[in-house]
Structure 1
Amino acid sequence: MSTALSPTALAQQFTSLFGAAPDGIWAAPGRVNLIGEHTDYNEGFVLPFAIDRTANVAVRLRGDNTARLVSSYGNQGVVEVDLDTLSRDSMSGWTAYPLGVVWVLRQQGVAVGGFDLFLDSTVPTGAGLSSSAAIECAVATAFNELLDAQLSPGALVLVGQRAENEVVGAPTGILDQSASLLSTDGHAVFLDCRSQASQLVPLALAAAGLIVLVVDTKVTHAHATGGYAARRASCELGAEVLGVAALRDVDAEDLAEAAGLLDEETFRRVRHIVTEDMRVLETVSVLEASGPSAIGDLLTASHASMRDDFEISCPELDLAVDTALSNGALGARMTGGGFGGSAIALIPASAEATVRTAVLDAFAAAGFTTPDIFAVSPAAGARRIV
């Protein structure tokens, strides 16, 4: 994982590269989804929290219609774009995330003109921690303030989602952007993806002597390809056959009838969504009543459902989950869209070294790539930092 540039260092690099100081620096976090996977685009419930890994963007408005963008990782140099020629099909690579947001804002009547932008991010890419939404939300927050667009956090969520859907080509819901924009320290965001209603739920890990350990398996995934879109199509088929607007409208007691109406694979996809929505609601209730030490079994049940019914896990994720559970974790699950990325384990803080060593040893014994393992805590959402 890259080390963040300090705000001072980021401003200095920006000034050195572009010849003037930035107008400001904005940060937006990645996220861990505590529970509620693939329920977002089924108009269901999710419970993510922002993590203390952020995408930081330094931005300065220009007097012309030229955008110049550079990132601190890789040796890609400055990308220069004439905004008059910006179209949905003209963006590619990492710049599609900030430029996608600019394109959406311009489509919605926000007069984004030329700008210089420097991106520095510590959210691991391809790890299921929403590095793309972190960039989108930092950029959206920056331009919302710089141009006094007065868009609400909920409106910025939809800007980021539209950039992801229409420019990047990933058919994601609103989970990632909501977590990045709406989170606060020490809380998870309980989100109703149908109404966009959100509620902060205390996630007092430190007070309970717990941490969430992330195991980045280094198995990269890309939402814009393959499996994610296929799962979404299965969910849409299930809803159509069952005669509902979205799988959010299917209850547990409807599953027996659904089994007779759907092919076996589609039924399992539907069963995951229906039971996962139930697990999210129960997790919120348990957190409010008993605190985080009581949610472990729900996390583990979520992983089993994603592994067996939704079939989005992989050997590396399963090994991380199983090893954590056998070495003291209260619960563990894969997090994110699946097909790689990260697992999370809810563990006593005192067990961190034991779990970390056990997972590293298990991956080495299996011949898997060495994972990155790090603790995260519920952090603040998108904001100006300079």
Structure 2
Amino acid sequence: MCPWKGQSNSILAAVSLNNSGKITLANANPLYTDFTVSCSEDIAIDRDNPKWYYYFLCGVKGIKENFGIANLAGMSCVVEGTIPPSSGLSSSSALVCCAGLVTMEANQKSLSKVALAEICAKSERYIGTEGGGMDQSISFLAERGTAKLIEFQPLRATDVKLPDGAVFVISNCCVEMNKAASAHFNIRVVECRIATKMLAQARGLDSGRMLKLVQVQTELKASLQEMLALVDEALHPEPYSREEICKALGITPEQFSTELLSANTQQETHFKLHQRARHVYGEAARVLQFKSVCDSEPAESVQRLGDLMNQSHASCRDLYECSCPELDQLVDICLKSGSVGSRLTGAGWGGCAVSMVPDEKVESFLQAVSKAYYRPDPRRAEMEKQSLFVSKPGGGAAIFIEE
């Protein structure tokens, strides 16, 4: 994965310590209600009601449990942010990371950036989202002026120098998708988990201990191209039923529900394993190709990177099925307006597209997208200022202490 943290979008928390025995959360945006929680009691996260403060409390809870803190330091926190909510720009993960960082500092604890990213990735799952950790990793490991190749097991980040001659432009389709408030995101996680076990079974591996597609690749010592071939060989394109999966894996319906499904995917009956696995391995291959182009700096690097972004969106739309009509329309408009490559960003089903635009076309691109997508719709027109902007890589999370 080659993400970056945008300079112009961030979440800020002003924190003062006190002896009240409480953590008080307030938001500078009057649309979001305040919340107070005890420092000594267990922090309960309501998965069925994913309010903004529960994301913050995920980070608090993660630090509390990691260090075994019985009584947290009292804090008064005011949060303000410029990241559009539920837009695919990691607003929820940024809030979790912000909370984890200030809670660690307030309680005089210390962790490396890598350890803090890993804790915050796990912490966000308290609210029911089974994310992988990329958003939290870039929140802490980002550096100004460079994208990062994020790799896991173990977590590590490598600089990726973006080519000169083009910038990235963010455009919000203005459809909000709260990952924790729907099952879409977790259904894809479940489908990938099942595909992992089916592929492991097909190659005689111990499927019981495998949960992620990368684990099968690692165990087989296979290339991504070899994994794509295995997907085509071992998985059929038609959706799998519960019964077919249980028979193939030799498990009972009860085991299927408890071991493979998440709490909010229990109602699912059919699963597209071939498409999801093909997207994941294909996307991983495109990420490595993207870095290779950036490293080698060929004359046509901007166009080649744009082509990879276009392939990525097509895969998200057709194989992973995490786009939406508005996003597809916006991506099409961006390409017609001068972008060499455009794709959805974030979890999908709404939110933002990211476009690679040659320097000399930026102004005309912004005008064309505004005219074709935002101005014709009153709601979009009202949101345009915070929805269409140039983004450059910025630094990761930091603490500023006022003496």
Structure 2 length normalisation: TM-score? Answer: 0.78
Mapping for residues 1-386 of structure 1, pairs under 5 Å: 46-52=1-7, 53-76=9-32, 78-89=34-45, 93-109=51-67, 111=69, 112-166=72-126, 168-203=127-162, 208-224=164-180, 225-243=182-200, 245=210, 246-248=212-214, 249-250=216-217, 251-264=224-237, 265-290=272-297, 293=302, 294-363=304-373, 370=380, 372-386=387-401
Checking the alignment, whether the CA contact within 8 Å between 1:268 and 1:310 is kept in structure 2 is yes
Aligned-residue offset at 1:160? 1.4
Aligned-residue offset at 1:285? 1.2
Q: For 1:295, what is the secondary structure of its paired residue?
A: helix
Unaligned 5+ segments in structure 2 are 218-223, 238-271
With 213-222 and 239-248 compared, the bigger mean Cα shift is at: 239-248
Q: For 1:48, what is the secondary structure of its paired residue?
A: coil
Aligned partners of 1:79 and 1:308: how far apart in 2? 41
Cα displacement string for residues 54-89 of structure 1 (whole angstroms, at most 9, x for unaligned residues) = 100111111232111101012555422222333334
Aligned partners of 1:147 and 1:247: how far apart in 2? 38
Aligned-residue offset at 1:188? 1.0
Task: State the Cα RMSD in Å.
Answer: 2.2
Which structure has more strand as a fraction of its residues? 1
Aligned partners of 1:78 and 1:364: how far apart in 2? 32
With 241-250 and 372-381 compared, the bigger mean Cα shift is at: 241-250
Structure 1 length normalisation: TM-score? Answer: 0.81
Checking the alignment, whether the CA contact within 8 Å between 2:333 and 2:373 is kept in structure 1 is no
Q: State the structure with bigger RCO (CA 8 A, min sep 6), 1 or 2.
A: 1
Residue type at the aligned position of 2:6: I
Aligned length: 337
Checking the alignment, whether the CA contact within 8 Å between 2:62 and 2:119 is kept in structure 1 is yes
Aligned-residue offset at 1:161? 1.3
Q: For 1:304, what is the secondary structure of its paired residue?
A: helix
Aligned partners of 2:194 and 2:176: how far apart in 1? 27
Aligned partners of 2:333 and 2:341: how far apart in 1? 11
Aligned partners of 1:61 and 1:93: how far apart in 2? 24
The corresponding residue for 2:245 is none
Checking the alignment, whether the CA contact within 8 Å between 1:363 and 1:369 is kept in structure 2 is no
Instruction: Report the CA distance shift for 1:343/1:77 in structure 2 as closer, same or farther (over 3 A).
Output: closer
Residue type at the aligned position of 2:132: G
Checking the alignment, whether the CA contact within 8 Å between 1:88 and 1:100 is kept in structure 2 is no
Instruction: Report the CA distance shift for 1:188/1:110 in structure 2 as closer, same or farther (over 3 A).
Output: farther
Cα displacement string for residues 65-115 of structure 1 (whole angstroms, at most 9, x for unaligned residues) = 211110101255542222233333468511112222111211122542211
Checking the alignment, whether the CA contact within 8 Å between 1:171 and 1:223 is kept in structure 2 is no
Aligned partners of 2:187 and 2:320: how far apart in 1? 11
Checking the alignment, whether the CA contact within 8 Å between 1:63 and 1:114 is kept in structure 2 is yes
Checking the alignment, whether the CA contact within 8 Å between 1:238 and 1:270 is kept in structure 2 is yes
Instruction: Report the CA distance shift for 1:313/1:97 in structure 2 as closer, same or farther (over 3 A).
Output: same
Aligned-residue offset at 1:209? 3.2
Checking the alignment, whether the CA contact within 8 Å between 2:37 and 2:43 is kept in structure 1 is no
Aligned-residue offset at 1:368? 9.0
Instruction: Report the CA distance shift for 1:149/1:247 in structure 2 as closer, same or farther (over 3 A).
Output: same
Aligned-residue sequence identity (percent) comes to 28
Aligned-residue offset at 1:385? 3.5
Aligned-residue offset at 1:365? 9.0
Aligned partners of 1:202 and 1:141: how far apart in 2? 27
